[in-house]
Structure 1
Amino acid sequence: MNTFSRFSRSLTIVLVFATLVGCSVSPDYDKEIGAKNAKVVEIQMGIYDLDSLQTYVSAVGYRLVSHLGEQPFKFEFHVIDDPMPNAFAIPGGYIYITRGLLMLMNTEDELAGVLGHEISHVTQRHSVKQMQSSVVPGLLEVPGNIVGVVSSDLGNLINAPISTSNQLFLAGYSRSHETEADTLGATLAAKAGYKPAAMGDVLTRMNTSIEYITDQSIEKSYFDSHPYTPERVKNLNQMKGKLTIASSQPIDAAFPQPLDGMTVGENPNKGVFIDQQFIHPTLKFVIDFPNEWTTVNQPLSVGAFEDKQQGLVVLSGVGNNYDAKQNADRFKFAIEDRYNLEVKIIPTTLSDGTVGYLTTLKSDGEDTTNFLNQMWLDHNEGTYRVASLATELLQESVLESMNSFRAMSQQDYDKLTVKTLKVVDIDSSDSLEALNKQYSSHIDLELFKIINGIDENSDTTEMPKVKVVIEQSYQ
Structure 2
Amino acid sequence: MTRSGCGSVRLPFSALSSLVIVGLGAGLAAGPLGCARNPVTGKSELSLVSESQEIQMGQQGAKEVAQSIGFYKDAAVNAYVADIGKRMAAQSERPDLPWEFHVVDDASVNAFAIPGGFIYVTRGLMSSINNEAELAGVIGHEIAHVTHRHSVQQISKAQLAQLGLGIGSIISSDIAKFGQLAGAGLGLLFLKYGRDAENQADQSGFRYALGQNYDVREMPNVFETLSRISEAGGAGRLPEWLATHPNPDNRIEHIEKMIDTVRLQDRKLVVDREDYLRHIQGMTFGEDPRQGYFEGNAFYHPQMRFQMQFPAEWKKQNMTQAVVAVSPGEDAIMQLGLAGQTPPEQAARQFLSQQGVEAGNASAARINGLPAASSYFRAQTEQGQIEGIVSFVSYGGQTFGLMGYTPAGKLSSYDRSFQSSIGSFTELRDASKINVQPARLELVKVPRQMTLDQFNSQYPSSIPLEQLAIINHLEGPSSVIPVGRMVKRVVGGRPAGSS
**TM surpasses 0.5:** yes
Contact 2:131 2:273 (8 Å CA) reproduced = no
Letter in 1 for 2:79: T
Contact 2:451 2:481 (8 Å CA) reproduced = no
Tell me the distance in 1 between the aligned counterparts of 2:386 and 2:194.
Answer: 44
Give how far 1:299 is off: 3.0
> Partner of 2:145: helix, strand, or coil?
helix
Are the structure 2 counterparts of residues 286 and 459 from structure 1 closer, same or farther at C-alpha, using a change threshold of 3 Å? same
Letter in 2 for 1:197: R
Contact 2:302 2:435 (8 Å CA) reproduced = no
Are the structure 2 counterparts of residues 185 and 146 from structure 1 closer, same or farther at C-alpha, using a change threshold of 3 Å? closer
Contact 1:172 1:226 (8 Å CA) reproduced = no
> Partner of 2:180: helix, strand, or coil?
coil
Query: Is 1:175 equivalent to 2:195 in the alignment?
Result: yes
Letter in 2 for 1:422: E
Q: Which runs of 5+ in 1 are unaligned?
A: 1-10, 149-154, 215-220, 364-368
Query: Is 1:23 equivalent to 2:36 in the alignment?
Result: yes
Map residues 329-340 of structure 1 onto 2, 5 A cutoff: none
Tell me the distance in 2 between the aligned counterparts of 1:370 and 1:130.
Answer: 32
Tell me the distance in 2 between the aligned counterparts of 1:440 and 1:414.
Answer: 26
2:389 pairs, out of 363, 370, 373, with 373
Contact 1:107 1:256 (8 Å CA) reproduced = yes
Letter in 1 for 2:418: V
Tell me the distance in 2 between the aligned counterparts of 1:132 and 1:264.
Answer: 38
Give how far 1:298 is off: 2.5
Tell me the distance in 2 between the aligned counterparts of 1:63 and 1:14.
Answer: 31
Letter in 2 for 1:448: L
Give how far 1:61 is off: 1.1
Tell me the distance in 2 between the aligned counterparts of 1:381 and 1:74.
Answer: 36
Give how far 1:349 is off: 4.3
**Who is 2:399 aligned against?**
383
> Partner of 1:448: helix, strand, or coil?
helix
**Who is 2:102 aligned against?**
78
Map residues 135-174 of structure 1 onto 2, 5 A cutoff: 141-143=167-169, 158-161=178-181, 169-174=189-194
Give how far 1:56 is off: 1.4
> Partner of 1:261: helix, strand, or coil?
coil
Map residues 282-431 of structure 1 onto 2, 5 A cutoff: 282-320=303-341, 322-328=342-348, 343-350=361-368, 353-361=369-377, 372-390=388-406, 391-411=411-431, 413=433, 416-431=436-451
Are the structure 2 counterparts of residues 319 and 434 from structure 1 closer, same or farther at C-alpha, using a change threshold of 3 Å? same
Tell me the distance in 1 between the aligned counterparts of 2:219 and 2:312.
Answer: 43
Are the structure 2 counterparts of residues 225 and 213 from structure 1 closer, same or farther at C-alpha, using a change threshold of 3 Å? closer
Query: Is 1:263 equivalent to 2:301 in the alignment?
Result: no
Contact 1:45 1:167 (8 Å CA) reproduced = no
Are the structure 2 counterparts of residues 417 and 458 from structure 1 closer, same or farther at C-alpha, using a change threshold of 3 Å? same
Query: Is 1:469 equivalent to 2:493 in the alignment?
Result: no
TM-score normalised by length of structure 1: 0.79
Tell me the distance in 1 between the aligned counterparts of 2:99 and 2:57.
Answer: 14
Contact 1:117 1:184 (8 Å CA) reproduced = yes
Map residues 241-256 of structure 1 onto 2, 5 A cutoff: 241-243=260-262, 247=268, 253-256=274-277
Are the structure 2 counterparts of residues 250 and 75 from structure 1 closer, same or farther at C-alpha, using a change threshold of 3 Å? farther
**Who is 2:61 aligned against?**
37
Query: Is 1:198 equivalent to 2:202 in the alignment?
Result: no
Q: Deviations over 1:193-243 (max 9, x none)?
A: 2012322111011112222348xxxxxx99995412xx2212222222433
**Who is 2:453 aligned against?**
433
1:210 pairs, out of 230, 233, 250, with 230
TM-score normalised by length of structure 2: 0.76
Letter in 2 for 1:384: F
Give how far 1:324 is off: 2.9
Are the structure 2 counterparts of residues 427 and 146 from structure 1 closer, same or farther at C-alpha, using a change threshold of 3 Å? same
Tell me the distance in 1 between the aligned counterparts of 2:414 and 2:116.
Answer: 47
Q: Which runs of 5+ in 2 are unaligned?
A: 1-21, 38-46, 235-241, 380-384
Tell me the distance in 1 between the aligned counterparts of 2:439 and 2:70.
Answer: 18
Of residues 26-35 and 115-124 in structure 1, the stretch that sits farther from structure 2 once superposed is 26-35
Contact 1:82 1:100 (8 Å CA) reproduced = yes
Q: Deviations over 1:44-78 (max 9, x none)?
A: 33322222221211121122223336633121111
Higher RCO (CA < 8 A, seq sep 6+): 1
Tell me the distance in 2 between the aligned counterparts of 1:120 and 1:179.
Answer: 10
> Partner of 1:357: helix, strand, or coil?
strand
Q: Deviations over 1:394-453 (max 9, x none)?
A: 111110100101111125526834111112211224442232233330122222111101
**Who is 1:460 aligned against?**
481
Letter in 2 for 1:60: I
Give how far 1:87 is off: 1.3
Percent identity over the alignment? 27
Give how far 1:286 is off: 0.4
Contact 1:61 1:77 (8 Å CA) reproduced = yes
Contact 2:131 2:272 (8 Å CA) reproduced = no
Give how far 1:316 is off: 2.0
Are the structure 2 counterparts of residues 146 and 316 from structure 1 closer, same or farther at C-alpha, using a change threshold of 3 Å? farther
Tell me the distance in 2 between the aligned counterparts of 1:331 and 1:129.
Answer: 36
Letter in 2 for 1:471: G
> Partner of 1:68: helix, strand, or coil?
coil
Q: How well do the aligned residues superpose, as a CA RMSD in angstroms?
A: 3.8
Give how far 1:43 is off: 3.1
**Who is 2:13 aligned against?**
none
Letter in 1 for 2:262: L
**Who is 1:61 aligned against?**
85
Letter in 2 for 1:455: E
